[in-house]
Amino acid sequence: MTITIQQNDTTDTHSIYTVNFFNCPIITTVTNVGSVVESWLSDIYRIHSRRLAHLIVGLDIEWRPIFQRNATSRVALLQLCVGRRCLIFQLIYADCIPQSLRNFLLDQNFRFVGVGIEEDVEKLLEDYELSVANPVDLRLMAAEKLDAIELRRAGLKNLASATLGLEVVKPKRVTMSRWDSSWLSFEQVQYACVDAHLSFEIGKYLILMN
C-alpha cells in the first residue's frame, strides 16, 4: 500500500499534514478550533466555486471504542474531504461548532458520501445537534450502479477495490484506537484522512459514471 504521511506545520490552533495516497498528496488539517474550521471551509468554497451546485464531500466520523454492552461514546472526530483537502475536526475538544459548518452540512446542493453514512449522520445529530441534509450511502450506490447486490454490505476496503481498484489496509490497532486522544498519532491522522478521502473518490467515481 503506497500511503505515507508527513507533518508540515503545527501551531496552537491546528496541525497540517500531507498524506500521500498513491501519489496523490492530500493536505490534511487537524484542529479543535472553530475559526480554523471556518477558514478551511472558506478555502473549499473558493477552490471549488464552479462546483458548488453539485459538490461531492467525503464524510466520516470516529469515536472511542467501548467494550460494554449497550454503551457508546461521543463522536470524537468529524472528517470531511473535498478533492485533495481534508479536515479532521476534533469535535470532542472543540471550543465551538461554527455556524458555517452547520450551514455547510445543511447545503442541499452538496452530496455527503460515506459508508453507512446514515448511522454517522444520526450519531452527529444525537451527540452535537449537527444535521446533514443530503447523505448518500456508497454501499447502496455501488450495488445499484455496478449491479452487484453483495456490495450493499461492503466496507470501505471492499468498495475501494470494487470501484477504484485500490487495495487498502485498515489496521485493527488503529481502527480500535483512542480516537478521543487530544493528540492524534501519525497513524490515526493518516487513517482518518484516508477514510474520508476514499469516500470522496468512490463517491466521485460512482456519481460521474454513466
Q: What is the pLDDT along the chain (210 residues), one digit of tens a residue?
A: 589 999 999 999 999 999 999 999 999 999 999 999 999 999 999 999 999 999 999 999 999 988 777 667 899 999 999 999 999 999 999 999 999 999 999 999 999 999 999 999 999 999 999 999 999 999 999 999 999 999 999 999 999 999 999 999 989 999 999 999 999 999 999 999 999 999 999 999 999 986
The DSSP line for 146-191 is: TT-GGGGG--HHHHHHHHH-------HHHHTS-TT-SS--HHHHHH
Q: What is the DSSP letter of 95?
A: S
Which triple of cell numbers denotes residue 46?
Answer: 473558493
Q: How many domains does the chain have?
A: 1
* pTM for the full predicted model: 0.95
Q: Which domain holds residue 114?
A: 3-208
Find the CATH number of the domain harbouring 120.
Answer: 3.30.420.10
